[in-house]
Amino acid sequence: MLFSAALELLKDTENGAFVLPARRASGAVLVAPDLVGRVLCSTFNRASGTANGWINEAAIHRGKTAPVFNNFGGEERIWFAPEGGPFGLMFGRKESQFENYCVQPGMSTAQYKVAEESPSSVLLEADLTLENAVGTRFDMHVERRISVIESCPYAMGVRGRMEMVGFQTENTVINMGGPWERTSGAVAVWCLGQFLEHPHLSIVVPVCPVADSESSPATVDEYFKDFCIGGVFPSARRVDYGDFVVLKADGRVRGKVGIKRGRATGRLGSYDPDDAHLIIVDHDFYPELEYATGYWRPYENAFDGDALSAYIDGPERPGGSEGVSFELETMSPALFLQPNQSFTYRNRTFHLRGDRGSVDRVCRRSLGPTLDQLEEFARTTD
């Protein structure tokens, strides 16, 4: 979809739209406050370029009618963790199973108001209420400042032709109710970006080395039991290179991985060799703090969860339709907030495209692999 068509889609469906143009380039970011305050897409060229994110055009035309989840797509939506488990937010008081899954209105239908705007940023706000599996109520005021980023730190000093567009969301949560405590559960900010899958696209997960990888694996594969057909992600579609893990995201196999704080670097990314398009997502990362656990099964520690995760869409059953999008997801630490206390969490998304040498250097600097490694991986998993 063209960026201009995405803008017209919002106007045609009577959804508010804000275009944030880059000052020194032709890129832009499109924000949809009415669609739960999301960044719908960015583009390298606001006049004629394509939308960088996956957009669910049919869902936007239908409106906020889905009883389980209004999946409008978009490059970044704001949710709250944990998803499942004893303090989960997505299953009510029921067991964490697909048939019980239901996204609360604060994450599926909420409309954010525009509190402030400028040529390069927009401030959105909303009052939300969520409830977890043990009945703890979370009343909160959320402020979400979305800003265009004019330069990518990972490209600093890199010569050669390079296009870049990026944005940051600065998410402030204010506790408007009682204390959020360990015994009754806490929430965390969860930023999810949806992007288009491609036949040769790879997701890259940089990881910190550890002495004992048996007790601290690079990725948490608990999700495969729920998201993968047969409960196992095919070994040929996932390779651990030591300092980074690469996963295939072509829509043919569904799966998800998480990265705990002890292995996380604060970054995720993807690369499409057919368009030389590199995506880097990073966030405010606090490895010394605890992260909410949200797996769809029993666990011992409710605050030893993932700091980042990656979801790959694919068939739900053998012979089913292939997937169309993948997600790069980041989480804030668990928010143990007292009444009127606040926490601000920042998430950043960068898109880069250019000559091979420049993109290769940025990829190695930010994520770890060379383009040769990613292209070889794509060929061996065709």
Q: Is residue 16 part of a domain?
A: no
Q: Which residues 6+ apart lie within 8 Å of 179 measured at CB?
A: 337, 338, 339
Cα three-residue angle 303-223-202, rounded to 5 degrees: 110
Q: Determine the pLDDT at residue 102.
A: 95
Is the pLDDT confidence value at 245 over 70?
yes
The range of the structural domain enclosing residue 261 comes to: 55-380
Q: Range with the lowest mean pLDDT among 154-168, 200-214, 240-254?
A: 200-214
Q: Are strands 38-43 and 188-196 parallel, antiparallel or unpaired?
A: unpaired
Q: Is residue 13 part of a domain?
A: no
CATH number at residue 191: 2.70.98
Is 371 within 8 Å of 297 (Cβ atoms)? Answer: no
Give the residue-averaged pLDDT of 74-93. Answer: 96
Is the pLDDT confidence value at 213 over 80?
no
CA 340, distance to chain mean position in Å, is 27
Q: Which of 95, 79, 58 is nearest to 309 (CA)?
A: 79
Query: DSSP characters for 155-202?
Result: GTT--S-EEEEEEEEEEEEEE-SS---TTT--BEEEEEEEEE--TT-E
Give the residue-averaged pLDDT of 345-354. Answer: 97
User: What is the rounded distance in angstroms from the CA atom of residue 363 to the CA atom of residue 316?
Assistant: 32
Q: Determine the pLDDT at residue 96.
A: 86
Q: Determine the pLDDT at residue 220.
A: 92
* Mean pLDDT, all residues of the chain: 95
User: H or E stretch including 255?
Assistant: strand 255-260
Query: What is the chain's Cα-based Rg?
Result: 20
Q: Are strands 137-149 and 244-248 parallel, antiparallel or unpaired?
A: unpaired
Is 170 within 8 Å of 147 (Cβ atoms)? Answer: yes
Give the number of residues written for the chain. Answer: 382
User: What is the rounded distance in angstroms from the CA atom of residue 250 to the CA atom of residue 323?
Assistant: 8
Q: Range with the lowest mean pLDDT among 211-215, 271-275, 317-321?
A: 211-215
Model confidence, pTM: 0.96
Calculate what percentage of the chain has a pLDDT beyond 90.
Answer: 89
Q: Is residue 136 part of a domain?
A: yes
Q: Determine the pLDDT at residue 205.
A: 98
Is the pLDDT confidence value at 123 over 80?
yes
Q: Determine the pLDDT at residue 301.
A: 93
Q: Determine the pLDDT at residue 382.
A: 62
Cα three-residue angle 168-151-23, rounded to 5 degrees: 85
What's the farthest any 2 CA atoms get from each other in the chain?
A: 56
Q: Is residue 32 part of a domain?
A: no
Q: pLDDT for 24-68, tens place per residue?
A: 889 999 999 999 999 999 999 999 999 999 999 999 999 999 999
**Half-sphere exposure (Cβ direction) of 81: Cα atoms closer than 13 Å:** 28
Higher-confidence position of 126 and 160: 126
Give 212's pLDDT tier (boundaries 50, 70, 90): confident
Three-class SS state of 102 = coil
Beta-strand (E) ranges in 9-62? 18-21, 28-32, 38-43
Q: Is residue 22 part of a domain?
A: no
CA 382, distance to chain mean position in Å, is 26
CA 380, distance to chain mean position in Å, is 27
Q: Is residue 36 part of a domain?
A: no
Q: Determine the pLDDT at residue 226.
A: 87
Domain count across the chain: 1
Give 160's pLDDT tier (boundaries 50, 70, 90): confident
User: What is the rounded distance in angstroms from the CA atom of residue 308 to the CA atom of residue 259?
Assistant: 5
Sign of CA dihedral 65, 66, 71, 76: positive
User: What is the rounded distance in angstroms from the CA atom of residue 119 to the CA atom of residue 283?
Assistant: 24
Q: Determine the pLDDT at residue 321.
A: 93
Q: Is residue 240 part of a domain?
A: yes
